[in-house]
Structure 1
Amino acid sequence: MLELININSFPVFLLVLVRVAAFFVTLPFFSYRTIPLPFKIGFSFFLAFIMFYTIDASAIVIDEMYIFLIVKEILIGLLIGLIGYIIISAVQIAGGFIDFQMGFAIANVVDPQTGAQSPLTGQYFYIIALLFLLSVDGHHLLIDGIVNSYKFIPVDTFIPFQNGNIAEFVIQAFSKMFLIAFQIAIPIVGCLFLVDVALGIIARTVPQLNVFVVGLPLKILVSFVAIFVFLSLYMVLVKNLFGLMFETMRGLMQLFGGA
């Protein structure tokens, strides 16, 4: 009981709290506006309270370097959550590719989770991806990631930013994210390219036909059919995307820990 009310342990608890709170600021699903702010604060507090008794804080020294430890914890939480959000944004990037070919690029919608404009198809894919994440308990894996982050990044160590492997790792993560976005979009974009080729041939052979009037509804119809046909392939790609997200977050933790 004395340990619970020991005021000397508050600086260590504050280090844990700022990492968890910063993690939830940028983490996919937990950072959305539709989740109430009191829930985020309360969940961060109680999760940090549980994690506080599972870490070794004997090496923490409260001196002039303590403020830098707080900044380090904030950066770790923000960057790990941000790299996960960047990876999952491949779904919306793929939707942007598809909408541009469908003719829907001019009709963006406001994403209620982030408050930013999002392509129609990308938002549709994104909702399916989030439902898939919840159905496989991916949100529990995300929470497990911040809990296990102290195995890779102890609370009393600093990030080795002079390590060039961190920048190389982030660049590789970006390239993999765009690759998956291209894989998600290429079936529909490829079908629409064939439609454009067919319309071009028709425009040359039948000049009386207004392909601009026929082309837009035809491309929309072909896009919907292609999305319905390739939806099972999309689920496989989303599974690979989430696997990449968890691997990227784990790899970034290892680099931050100096591994």
Structure 2
Amino acid sequence: MLELININSLPVFLLVFVRILAFFVTMPLFSYRTIPLPFKIGFSFFLAMIMFYTIDTQAVIVDEMFIFLIVKEALVGLLIGLVAYIVVSAIQVAGGFIDFQMGFAIANVMDPQTGAQSPITGQFLYIIALLFLLSVDGHHLIIDGIFNSYQFVPIDNFIPFGNRSIPDFVINAFNMMFIIAFQIAIPIVGCLFLVDLALGIIARTVPQLNVFVVGLPLKIIVSFLALFVFLSLYVSLAKNLFHTMFEVMRGLMQLFGGG
């Protein structure tokens, strides 16, 4: 504690604190509104206090470039958390695909965690994915990722924004999000497509039957049955999703470090 109280170490501690706090602003699970702001600030402070003694702080020079180091630390935390949030948003996109086919697209709900509108099925799958992440101690891996970020992006280095591979990497992560969303949604959307095909055949062969009245309840029943069967497969997809999230975070940190 004496070293932390020393006035010479306070600027370095501020750099560590800014990166961790910025990381918690956009990182999935830690950035939600259901977590009180004082808890985020306090947890970031004590985590920064612990990590401060494990980081080589001798290379940090407090001069006119120090303000740019603070901005760099904030950008590192925000961008790494944001790219992880983009990957996890594949669940919400997949839920939107499913709800559109089910007929639930008009019944979006307010997500209390993010404050944004969310599809009903996407919210259901998202909660299951978060519970899975907590059950396998994924939140510990997220905190471990914050700690390992200093091995890839040292506290005294700047981000090489001239590196063209950084925006390409973010675009590829965005494309990967849609591919994962399609993989999650295709079992149920495929079943509903077969239901639409069957209803179209019935409409041509039995014109007296009003398929618009029968179709919506039938598609909802088939969707629930497909979801029930699909949940076992969804757990493995959620595992691959979070594995991809950690790989994307690691790759972006390597690019930030000039690797």
Paired position in structure 1 for 2:149: 149
Task: Give the secondary structure class of the aligned counterpart of 1:162.
Answer: coil
Paired position in structure 1 for 2:76: 76
Paired position in structure 2 for 1:223: 223
TM-score by length of 2: 0.99
Deviations 1:110-168 (A, max 9, x none): 00000000000000000000000000000000000001100000010000011111111
Paired position in structure 2 for 1:49: 49
**Runs of 4+ displaced beyond 3 Å:** none
Contact 2:149-2:253 within 8 A present in 1 as well = yes
Rounded Cα–Cα distance in structure 2 between residues aligned with 1:54 and 1:240: 31
Instruction: Give the drift of 1:59.
Output: 1.2
Rounded Cα–Cα distance in structure 2 between residues aligned with 1:216 and 1:232: 26
Letter in 1 for 2:117: Q
Letter in 2 for 1:237: L
Alignment of 1:96-245 (within 5 A): 96-245=96-245
Instruction: Give the drift of 1:230.
Output: 1.2
Task: Give the secondary structure class of the aligned counterpart of 2:63.
Answer: coil
Unpaired runs of 5+ in structure 2? none
Deviations 1:64-109 (A, max 9, x none): 1111000000000000001111100100100000000000000000
Paired position in structure 1 for 2:6: 6
Paired position in structure 1 for 2:61: 61
Rounded Cα–Cα distance in structure 1 between residues aligned with 2:21 and 2:4: 21
Rounded Cα–Cα distance in structure 2 between residues aligned with 1:163 and 1:4: 35
Rounded Cα–Cα distance in structure 2 between residues aligned with 1:230 and 1:43: 37
Rounded Cα–Cα distance in structure 2 between residues aligned with 1:195 and 1:59: 64
Instruction: Give the drift of 1:176.
Output: 1.5
Letter in 1 for 2:111: D
Letter in 2 for 1:58: Q
Rounded Cα–Cα distance in structure 1 between residues aligned with 2:5 and 2:18: 20
Rounded Cα–Cα distance in structure 1 between residues aligned with 2:118 and 2:130: 15
Say what the alpha-carbon RMSD is for the aligned residues: 0.8
Rounded Cα–Cα distance in structure 1 between residues aligned with 2:112 and 2:104: 19
Letter in 2 for 1:23: F
Task: Give the secondary structure class of the aligned counterpart of 2:8.
Answer: helix
Instruction: Give the drift of 1:3.
Output: 1.8
Unpaired runs of 5+ in structure 1? none
Letter in 1 for 2:173: A
Deviations 1:11-33 (A, max 9, x none): 00000000000000000000000
Q: 1:225 to 1:2 in 2, by over 3 A?
A: closer
Letter in 1 for 2:204: R
TM-score by length of 1: 0.99
Letter in 2 for 1:180: I
Rounded Cα–Cα distance in structure 2 between residues aligned with 1:120 and 1:4: 48
Quick one: percent identity of the two aligned structures?
A: 80
Deviations 1:24-81 (A, max 9, x none): 0000000000011111010000000111111111111111111100000000000000
Instruction: Give the drift of 1:4.
Output: 3.4
Task: Give the secondary structure class of the aligned counterpart of 2:71.
Answer: helix
Rounded Cα–Cα distance in structure 2 between residues aligned with 1:81 and 1:17: 15
Contact 2:4-2:10 within 8 A present in 1 as well = no
Rounded Cα–Cα distance in structure 1 between residues aligned with 2:4 and 2:181: 48
Paired position in structure 2 for 1:33: 33
Aligned residue pairs total: 259
